[in-house]
Structure 1
Amino acid sequence: MEFFIDLISAIIPYIRTAFLAIIPLGFIIFIHELGHFYAAKRCGIKVNTFSLGFGPKLIGFQRDETEYRISLLPFGGYVQMEGENPNEQTGTQGEFASASISNRAFVVAAGPAVNLLFGILVYWFVFATGINADSARLIGGLTGLPLGEKEAIQIGWVADDGPGAVGGLMPGDAIVSINGDPISHWAMFQTRIFTSANRPLDLVVERDGERKILSVIPDPEPSVRGDIGIIRVSSRTETVISHIEEGSLAAQTGIQVGDQIESINGKKLHNVPYFGYGVWQASEDWRIEKYQALYQSINENQDALTLGIRRGDETLTLELPVRWRVKASVQENSIAQNAGIQDGDVLVTLNGCQ
């Protein structure tokens, strides 16, 4: 019995994923059939059935010559036109086969045309409104929150050796225009950068209430469609704690959900990447990977991070202990493997140094 329970528990996530994939696919099929339905009606072709879903009918009603129904399997839909089946053609007016060639072509093309139009509308809507990216799902504990209209085009992080830094961009700079064209949102800024590899761009930025003109040349990054430009900067987001593991060092220190991290070891933060995308909360360890901004904030002997935190109207300073754990990842036939080191071993001392 336990085997079947475990099996069902293992299968349920896959069923959920499949269901979530089928629903939007079914909607795409439905609007495709809706295009055929609309075109057939406009061309005077009789539509016997217009169904949302497939299989046995659940409910439905008749209006004029068309039966509208909802079927058992809500994955798409179908349109049944008079005379669509060659074996049922009688040559009477209103049949699909009796319509003119242009009308039949219009009916056939209407489905794909509606899908294309729907895709364009969705792309336009997403591009115009934007979407919120929650960085906490990647690094745990820190969420990139959307900012106001002005702050939405602010630079949050600049790589030290990147084209942005070479051109003079700094965290906190607000992008005003590129080559004289106003920039109203981050996606527009990214598009101009991506399409300008190896071409100088004149950026007008606002810094501390003053406007400055900077020249930036995006580096080329190879892609399947040619080089795209990159300047190695990211947008500004607020660094807000989204969750804390119970009993973790963060919880023991007094950090709370909703706290906004404003600085680390005295360095002001402008976004989540600056804090370090490689940092996440896991049990009692803050594990740290390769990102340079955080490395620069911690020396080898440091065992705590000084966090500047805003909690409501209060500004707090908290010391977060850091427990360093270096775990081994061993290559096959390497010196380390031959010495007996295994994957997952925790390095405690090196030449007597802890």
Structure 2
Amino acid sequence: MSILLAILGIGFLLFIHEGGHFLAARWCGVTVEVFSLGIGPRIAGFRRGDTDYRLSLFPFGAYVRMAGDEPGAPPRPGHLNTQPPSARLLIFSGGIIANFLFAIISFPLLFHAGVSFESPVLGKIQSGGPAWQAGLQEGDRILSIGNEPVLGFRHFSAAIGLSQKGDVLNLMVSRNDSSPQKFRLTPHFNERAGMPRAGVDAAFVPAVAPSIAAEESGLEKNDVILALDGIPLSTPLIQRVLLESLPENEGVIEAEILRGNQTLALTLTPKPYPDPPSRIGIWEIADEIEGFKSGALGELRVGDRIIGPDTKPEDLERAPSLRSINDLLLLVIKAGEMPALIIEREGKRISTPAFNTSPEKIASSIHLRA
């Protein structure tokens, strides 16, 4: 549907463009033989004067046919090839002028009515990336870059993409609705993308999509999930990690949701995503601590390989269960602290004690590598 709307939108802009040629030609006294909305065979229309106003089969554009615009046509009154250079310049420029005037008129109207922008709130931060190094956190709102206000995430992305090697961007950031803080971000040139990147996604925006699983659980389109299994979705990071982990849950989940002004309790039964044909069940596992941004946490050290939580004596022999930083964050969210862990250090497996921390502290401090 979105592709069809895009094609129709381009067709409308071409109609405005061709309408500019049409009006300029009429103003200069040139006979317009055909003014068509769409291309291809004529399916409807009417004739007024010398002009056939028609609707053509494929509504993906428009065109104007003027008398005397064919090469070698004999010069006659009202033909394009008899017009002075100034008139021909106006006719040929009519489309561009029409598009320019349409933009001048439509932009204020659209902004007056309201135009949606993706908010300049940061989503998942790539550990070890430029945004992580700068100290930015998931949920931060970018207020300005230099002296320029940032209205949407696309403005932030554009500033990153247009930066030069070695540029340092001075950011004003709001965190947890507190007073603005200053951060210095140095984008890194990504060879694969062919442009600078900051290592940060747009904010995760949860929405209930129409599906059999949603209907069976009783979820509706505008429901807001407040808590899962008694854990409040109190921060953007907790919200994203818990919701992203839903398809991997094997049992039911008790959810607290807000529907209008009413708080409801629902039992959710997650269903895993079907694997696409190209997936063969192999993941890159990132479970080794490559570095800390501001000193070690607890008894964890650089080079430690995190196997998983330490819950029973036999856990020392368990198979590794940690695949990524998200798995580690999920442990912290569910336990309310960093639980005791089984780690592999210098070829030996040992247990590290639990310590008090938050998922935001872990995400902004530990860099795991594969």
- What band does the TM-score fall into relative to the shorter chain? 0.5 to 0.7
Gap runs ≥5 in structure 1 = 1-15, 133-145, 147-151, 280-285, 289-297, 332-350
Aligned match for 1:274, one of 240, 249, 253:
240
Aligned match for 2:80, one of 90, 96, 100:
96
- Change over 3 Å in CA distance of 1:194–1:252 after alignment to 2: same
What is the aligned-residue RMSD (CA, Å)? 4.6
User: Within 2, Cα distance between the matches of 1:275 and 1:330?
Assistant: 21
In the other structure, the counterpart of 1:62 is 48
- Change over 3 Å in CA distance of 1:208–1:330 after alignment to 2: closer
User: Are 2:167 and 2:187, in contact at CA under 8 Å, matched by a contact in 1?
Assistant: yes
- The 5-angstrom pairing of residues 35-114 of structure 1 reads 35-53=20-38, 55-56=41-42, 58-63=44-49, 66-73=50-57, 75=59, 76-85=61-70, 89=74, 91-111=75-95, 113=96
In the other structure, the counterpart of 1:177 is 144
User: Are 2:43 and 2:57, in contact at CA under 8 Å, matched by a contact in 1?
Assistant: no
- Change over 3 Å in CA distance of 1:165–1:56 after alignment to 2: closer
Give the letter aligned to residue 227 of structure 1. M
Give the letter aligned to residue 82 of structure 2. S
- How far is the alpha carbon of 1:87 from its aligned partner? 6.7
> Is residue 258 of structure 1 aligned with residue 222 of structure 2?
yes
In the other structure, the counterpart of 1:334 is none
In the other structure, the counterpart of 2:259 is 311
- How far is the alpha carbon of 1:118 from its aligned partner? 8.5
User: Within 2, Cα distance between the matches of 1:62 and 1:254?
Assistant: 59
User: Within 1, Cα distance between the matches of 2:203 and 2:269?
Assistant: 29
- Change over 3 Å in CA distance of 1:95–1:219 after alignment to 2: same
User: Are 1:57 and 1:69, in contact at CA under 8 Å, matched by a contact in 2?
Assistant: no
User: Within 2, Cα distance between the matches of 1:324 and 1:52?
Assistant: 47
User: Are 1:219 and 1:229, in contact at CA under 8 Å, matched by a contact in 2?
Assistant: yes
Gap runs ≥5 in structure 2 = 283-317, 319-370
User: Which has the higher mean CA deviation after the structures are superposed, 267-276 or 204-213?
Assistant: 267-276
- How far is the alpha carbon of 1:178 from its aligned partner? 1.5
- Change over 3 Å in CA distance of 1:223–1:88 after alignment to 2: same
Alpha-carbon displacement from aligned partner over 1:107-155 (angstroms, at most 9, x marks no partner): 34544x3687499779979x976557xxxxxxxxxxxxx7xxxxx2333
Secondary structure in 2 matching 1:214: strand
Secondary structure in 1 matching 2:53: strand
User: Are 1:177 and 1:204, in contact at CA under 8 Å, matched by a contact in 2?
Assistant: yes
Tell me the percent identity. Answer: 23
**Aligned pairs, number:** 272
Secondary structure in 1 matching 2:157: helix
In the other structure, the counterpart of 2:182 is 213
In the other structure, the counterpart of 2:122 is 155
User: Within 2, Cα distance between the matches of 1:205 and 1:41?
Assistant: 55
In the other structure, the counterpart of 1:5 is none
Q: TM-score, normalised by structure 2?
A: 0.56
- Change over 3 Å in CA distance of 1:305–1:168 after alignment to 2: farther
